[in-house]
Amino acid sequence: MMDLNSESVKKVLSKYKFRDVAVEELQKVSRLHPDMKLISGTYTSSDSLQKDLLKLVGNIPVRYQGRSYNLPILLWLLDSFPFTPPVCFLRPTSSMVIREGKHVDSKGRIHLPGLHTWDHPKSSVNGLLAEMIAKFEEEAPLSTKSAAQGDDPNNLLTYVSNLSLHEGGNRLDQEVKVSVIGGGDLGIAAVLSIMAKGCVDKLVLIDMPETSTKGGTMDLEIFSLPKVEVSKDLSASAGSKVVVITANAWSDEQSYLSVVQTNVDMYRGIIPRLAQLSPKAMLLIASQPVDIMTHVAWRQSHLLPPQVIGVGCNLDSERLSHIINISLVANSTGKQAWVIGELSENKVALWGNMGPGTDQLQALTPVSNSTKPLMDRALEMLKGRGQRSWSVGLSIADIIHSIVTDKKKIHSVTTLAEPGRVVTAAE
């Protein structure tokens, strides 16, 4: 039985804000899971702060393909438990490796809908463990190291699941997965444009209820598309190669400053979670104002600067280059027209012959007196085109295609500006 009376446990438990309620919840866990152990330890948070807390350590029974296994887990109980959810991890043995997926990240942390919607007393540890068992019976969270290293596959839960994860010799965890966050017109346009490119194996569209960009996901559910999953749960984005943020959270009545603050607050609730679910992903920001929100996303995600970019002036650059090419000037000079800078009236048009292996800073040159009239005319033509959802969606798909196919194409995007450093979407 769980020991609630050891000196180390009593010492830490005395500092919990809701001690009596916590004890009652732990007693319920002990009755249903008597082999769970309660011990004290030092918990290190994501911001490197350390604190003495209690943790539940034990195994949960998981039945997979007709066989039963004991899956080792650990649940950290924060000092406001049970009114805040446990922080849950797998405890793989030396012969197991974590298989990152929908409910487990690369560090073994467990992410479940029940944790996201935790509301004690409706939510409980026993209910959470039941959900954990159900999810892991659907998708194994661990895989075995190579049998050539001397591992006994019969002792590993996921040796069996590992066999089923191969199709034609290719592992499913190598699939190209892209997630689009925001179910409004831009989100739908991005989904359709990306699928038209044919460069992804799976696309997830997540409709965020707290945003104002809603309305189209029901139609996608009715007229389902191959390889497209519609969800309201951020955990469905786990393991994405690219995560596109199209969500906005404002009304037409808001001022510019209040629009920015509303979107910053909305990002605070989704960006850290998305980065946690897909730590190796590229975040592509399309929320407005895109330059500011790209910087906000980088700060909140704690990802490397090249991993967080905005759609920037890619659409305007492609349009401008197309207009100039029609006039045959770009073809005769061997140069391409670019639009760079802030996505506003302050953007700038330049000539450039950038490509892989070139010095990007030296490749960009100002418009000369001889070509200025043509450039001015082209920019004037751009003003009437606007930034419609389907146009931006096509631009998003263009950037994603370069990322997932490693096309080495140069794009005009929003990124963190550092002295002496130019970043392209192809990095």
Give percent above pLDDT 90 in the chain: 28
As a residue count, the chain comes to: 427
Position 312 pLDDT exceeds 60: yes
Rounded to 5 degrees, what angle do the CA atoms 203, 209, 214 make?
65
H helices present in 110-239, as ranges: 113-116, 125-138, 157-164, 185-197, 217-222
pLDDT of residue 198: 82
Listed in order, strand segments (DSSP E) in 8-66 are: 37-44, 50-64
Q: Would you place residue 158 in the very low, low, confident or very high pLDDT band (cuts 50, 70, 90)?
A: very low
Residue 77 host element (H or E):
strand 67-77
Position 49 pLDDT exceeds 70: yes
- Residue 406, token pair as written in the block: 């490693």
List pLDDT tens digits, range 207-232. 876 554 445 566 666 666 778 888 88
pLDDT of residue 225: 75
Position 154 pLDDT exceeds 50: no
Q: Would you place residue 105 in the very low, low, confident or very high pLDDT band (cuts 50, 70, 90)?
A: confident
Of 140, 246, 232, 131, nearest to 193 by C-alpha is 246
Contact 142, 97 (CB under 8 A): yes
Residues whose CB is less than 8 angstroms from the CB of residue 104 and which lie 6 or more positions away in sequence, other chains included: 90, 98, 110, 111, 141, 238
Q: Would you place residue 315 in the very low, low, confident or very high pLDDT band (cuts 50, 70, 90)?
A: confident
Q: Would you place residue 421 in the very low, low, confident or very high pLDDT band (cuts 50, 70, 90)?
A: very low
pLDDT of residue 131: 92
pLDDT of residue 86: 94
Give percent above pLDDT 70 in the chain: 67
Mean predicted confidence (pLDDT) in 376-393: 61
Mean predicted confidence (pLDDT) in 330-337: 54
Of 397, 43, 375, 49, nearest to 196 by C-alpha is 397
pLDDT of residue 218: 67
According to DSSP, residue 110 is labeled B
Position 128 pLDDT exceeds 90: yes
